[in-house]
């Protein structure tokens, strides 16, 4: 066997072409790379402008948190989400609502704006009043979902009206109905154990989380071969059976993410795109947060961004999901 010859790949590398005319080979997937971080980053410039216009400290703070989060690569994103899924979940949900609100404002669509605004209001109330707001959280989520569904129904674009926001809105409303008071407490106040989580979580390597995150895309892409089928099966398994409210909620949220992404594409609206991206990210966080965690007592705070990593306390922006 000849010694390995390492050639750093260049786009025009003739050496690579000479070597890689293949007669026979076997291949195996080693990783899925890229994805959400890049996707999210595309929406951030628009989000940043919207944040600046609104001038609200909480929103600006959330924007700062998102843009300065350690999400500079997909691996870093996975690490961040695994280390503190609820905080990542909260930021993503908040950013998604802000993007919706800005998209509604820019496109003069009051229902889209109302949808984002109701999500923001919910997050603020939960942050300020803490656990006491859990009983009304569902009702506020239903308001958000219904307003979004109405926005879709009233859209001038027939494509958007057919699926898009209607799906997302109904999914949000349905998910809210299925989330009980205790679920809201869990979403908002439960924090992961320090030191990396449970035994179950340590069995799942970060790369598997990467795979699961792409299931959103695979769900609307029927031509991905073996990997697509595997990930579709994974997606079905995650929500499969649909025997519990938790599973059904997750399935609805996934449907909502896809619906919102479709609406964004149809409308070519970067803010809707960003909302979809953050929404997908928040759903990813929900999936990661299947590890064993413990419930902390509420610590009401007037600051959405209160609480350093590792401290107990409200998670910023966890209202939407």
Which residues contact another protein by CB under 8 A?
Answer: 1-9, 13, 16-17, 19-36, 38-39, 74-75, 78, 159, 162, 204-208, 210-212, 214, 217-218, 220-221, 223-228, 230, 233-234, 237, 261-262, 265-266
Considering the complex, what minimum distance in angstroms separates the CB of residue 132 from another protein?
A: 38
Closest CA to 143 of 164, 120, 114: 114
Give whichever of 51 and 266 is closer to another protein, judged by the CB atom. Answer: 266
Q: Cα 205–92–191 angle (5° rounding)?
A: 60
Selection from 231, 211, 320, 220 nearest residue 275 by Cα: 320
> Within 13 A of 151's CA, how many CA atoms are on the CB side?
30
If the CB atoms of residues 101 and 211 are measured against another protein, the closer one turns out to be: 211
How wide is the angle at C-alpha 222 spanned by C-alphas 273 and 210, nearest 5°?
A: 60
C-alpha to C-alpha distance for 97 and 149, rounded to whole angstroms: 15
The minimum distance between CB 64 and another protein, in angstroms, equals 24
Cβ atoms < 10 Å from Cβ of 283: 22
Q: Which is nearer to another protein, 6 or 243 (CB)?
A: 6
Residue closer to another protein (CB basis): 75 or 296: 75
Burial (CB count <10 Å: 0-12, 13-18, 19+), residue 96: buried
To which H or E segment does residue 38 belong?
helix 36-54
CA dihedral (80, 81, 84, 90) positive or negative: positive
Q: How far is the CB of 9 from another protein (least distance, A)?
A: 5
Q: How far is the CB of 54 from another protein (least distance, A)?
A: 27
CB neighbourhood size of 108 (10 A)? 8
Rounded to a whole number of angstroms, the minimum distance from the CB of residue 17 to another protein is 6
Start-to-end C-alpha separation, the chain: 56
Q: Shortest gap between Cβ of 215 and another protein (angstroms)?
A: 11
* Pick 177 or 207: Cβ nearer another protein: 207
Compute the least distance from the CB of residue 162 to another protein, in Å. 7
Q: Could you tell me the smallest distance in angstroms from the CB atom of residue 191 to another protein?
A: 25
Closer to another protein at the Cβ: 16 or 242? 16
Strand partners, 191: 294
Q: Which token pair is 241? A: 């059976």
Tokens, residue 293: 């965690």
Residue whose CB is less far from another protein, 193 or 200? 200
Residues 235/215, Cβ–Cβ less than 8 Å: yes
Q: Cβ closer to another protein: 147 or 269?
A: 269
């Amino acid at each position: 066997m000849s010694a390995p010859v390492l050639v750093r790949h260049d786009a025009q590398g003739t050496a690579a072409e000479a070597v890689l005319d293949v007669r026979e080979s076997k291949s195996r997937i080693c990783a899925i790379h890229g994805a959400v971080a890049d996707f999210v980053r595309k929406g951030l410039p628009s989000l940043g402008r919207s944040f600046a216009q609104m001038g609200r400290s909480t929103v600006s703070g959330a924007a700062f948190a998102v843009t300065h989060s350690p999400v500079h690569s997909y691996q870093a994103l996975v690490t961040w989400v695994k280390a503190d899924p609820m905080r990542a979940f909260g930021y993503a949900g908040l950013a998604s609502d802000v993007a919706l609100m800005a998209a509604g404002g820019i496109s003069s669509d009051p229902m889209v704006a109302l949808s984002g605004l109701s999500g923001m209001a919910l997050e603020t109330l939960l942050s300020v009043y803490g656990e006491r707001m859990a009983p009304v959280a569902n009702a506020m989520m239903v308001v958000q979902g219904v307003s979004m569904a109405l926005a879709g129904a009233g859209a001038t674009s027939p494509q958007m009206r057919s699926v898009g926001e209607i799906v997302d809105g109904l999914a949000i409303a349905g998910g809210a109905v299925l989330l009980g008071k205790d679920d809201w407490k869990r979403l908002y106040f439960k924090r992961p154990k320090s030191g990396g989580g449970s035994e179950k979580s340590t069995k799942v390597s970060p790369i598997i989380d990467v795979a699961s995150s792409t299931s959103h895309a695979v769900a609307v892409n029927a031509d991905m071969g073996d990997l697509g089928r595997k990930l579709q099966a994974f997606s079905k398994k995650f929500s499969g059976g649909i025997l519990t409210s938790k599973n059904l909620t997750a399935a609805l949220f996934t449907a909502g993410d896809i619906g919102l992404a479709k609406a964004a594409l149809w409308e070519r609206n970067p803010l809707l795109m960003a909302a979809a991206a953050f929404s997908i990210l928040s759903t990813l966080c929900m999936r990661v947060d299947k590890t064993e965690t413990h419930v902390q007592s509420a610590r009401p705070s007037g600051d959405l961004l209160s609480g350093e990593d590792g401290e107990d306390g409200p998670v910023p922006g966890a209202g939407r999901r």
